[in-house]
Each structure stands twice: as structure tokens, then as C-alpha cells.
Structure 1
């Protein structure tokens, strides 16, 4: 079977790769491109560990074919930090111990960033709803939700 050529932008960088027609975007990110921050939890779109943004929309990369990335803008956890500086969400997750094993963390961070980009002043209910597609078996959700809420508050304060 012939490989497909895909030209896309990942974390602001133009990238090209070859993929099999049935290869998931998750497998291409991890295996072909070496972007292993995006995790595979379930492979069925139920856990959110493989969350990325595609053209600004939160998606499960395990449910997408790699070929569907053609001409699209992808953001993964690797692009979240600005050089040596962690994104405020990453820093707050560390400060508040809102992570443990790390399988869900990249997806949680991507989903939380996507929420704050859309709504910089979410209620706790909105945070919980937005993160409902991301499952955590270790930390539980309270520390994660509180970290997102505190980050939102700090980012609003910094914008003033």
C-alpha cells in the first residue's frame, strides 16, 4: 500500500511526513514525528489522553487519520511552553500537584488551555464540563480544576 504525503503545521512549524492510509494521527505524532508528549490511553476517544487542537478545536488524535492533518494547524503539548518558560497552566499544575502518573496530564493541559483561550473567566462548572472528556485515574479532578481556576484568575490579572 502506498504511503501518503502529509504537509501540516505542528506547534507553529511546517512539517511533512509520510503515513499509511489507515494510520491514526496519534500514531503519526508519536511514532513518525517523535512527539511523544501526546499519550495513548484508550485508543477509542474516551479518555482524552491524546487530546490536541486542530485548527483551534479540541480533538482526540486517536480518532483522526493522520492524512486528515493535510494543510491543518495542530497544537500538541510539546508546543505549550514558550522556550524555557512553562505555560502558566503547566506551572500551576506543578505548584498544586495536579498531576501524578502523567498519562492524562498532556490532554488535560491541552483541553484546559483550549478552554481558557475561548473563555478566560470560566466558572468551576464550566471547567469541569470542559474537562469531562479527560479521564484521570490518579490525581482525581479537584486539584486539576483548582489549578485551572487559579491559572485563569492569574492570567486575567496579568492582562489588566
Structure 2
């Protein structure tokens, strides 16, 4: 099968490669770019483990072809950390609030939460739960994921994180 040349910006760096037209974006990211943070879960867009940010939108990369991403700007979990390499507010929140267990959903969950906080810097618990509804977690029960996102929002906004009484 003939290959197609693709070029995009991933985590701030211009990248290019040759792909078969049927190559899924998640496979291009993991296999050619060697960015293995985004996971392959269901390959049907149901789990969200493969979530990346493309041109300011959360996208499930398991059902998008790499050729469709040609010319776009993509942010993966590897690009979420601060420029100096320290943990972003979201990564710190997931660590401090124990927002992960097995970690399989975590990269996609953090990338989705990043976009959520870009769109709504001070979401309510209900808005967070709705915002991450397309990303499944089989381990945590979501409560600590919500706390992690609330923690990050407070840190980004320069306010004190007030953990809700349970």
C-alpha cells in the first residue's frame, strides 16, 4: 500500500513521517514517534485511554487516521509537564489526591482534564464529572480523579484547595 507523508506539531516539536492511509493516529504516535503515554484500550472511542488534544479539542486518537491529523498541533501526556520538567498542576493533583491506581486511564484522563480546565478554569464537581464522562476508569471510582482536577483548578487559579467534606 502506498504511504502518505504527514507533518504535524506534537508537544511543540514539528514531526513528520510516512504512514499508510489506514494507520490510526494512536499507532503513529506510539510506534513512529515513540510517545507511548497515550494508551490503546478499546479502539472504539469508548474508554478514552488514547485521548490527545488536537488543535484545542480532546480527540480519541484510536479512531482518527494519522493522515487526518496532517497539519495539526497535538498535545499528548508527554507534553503536559511544565517547561522546566516539573509536574503540571494536573499531574501534581493526580499525585497528591491519589487520582490513579493502575494508571492505564491516567494519561487520557489528564489530557482530557487539561482541555476541560482550558475551557472552564473553575469547574464545579458536576461539570468535572460531565467533562470527563468520555474517559473510563475501572479502578478509582472517580472521586479522587475529581478531587485531583479540583486541586489543579485551585492551584492554577491561585486559590486554596478546599477538599469537600465526605
TM-score, normalised with respect to structure 2:
0.93
Superposition deviation, residue 90 in structure 1: 0.2
SS in 1 for 2:133: helix
Could you list the runs of 4 or more consecutive aligned residues of structure 1 that deviate by over 2 angstroms after TM superposition?
A: none
Count of residues in correspondence between the two structures = 158
Distance (Å, rounded) in 2 between the aligned partners of 1:140 and 1:109: 16
Q: Which residue of 1 aligns with 2:60?
A: 60
Q: Which residue of 2 aligns with 1:33?
A: 33
TM-score, normalised with respect to structure 1:
0.96
Note the residue ranges of structure 1 that are not aligned, 5 or more in a row: none
Superposition deviation, residue 127 in structure 1: 0.3
Distance (Å, rounded) in 2 between the aligned partners of 1:89 and 1:150: 8
Q: Which has the higher helix share?
A: 1
Q: Which residue of 1 aligns with 2:164?
A: none
Q: Does 1:13 align with 2:9?
A: no
Superposition deviation, residue 84 in structure 1: 2.0
Superposition deviation, residue 141 in structure 1: 0.2
| Aligned-pair Cα RMSD in Å | 0.9
| 1:6-43 deviation line (CA, Å, top 9, x unaligned) | 01000111100111110100011011110100001100
Distance (Å, rounded) in 1 between the aligned partners of 2:150 and 2:141: 15
Distance (Å, rounded) in 2 between the aligned partners of 1:34 and 1:150: 31
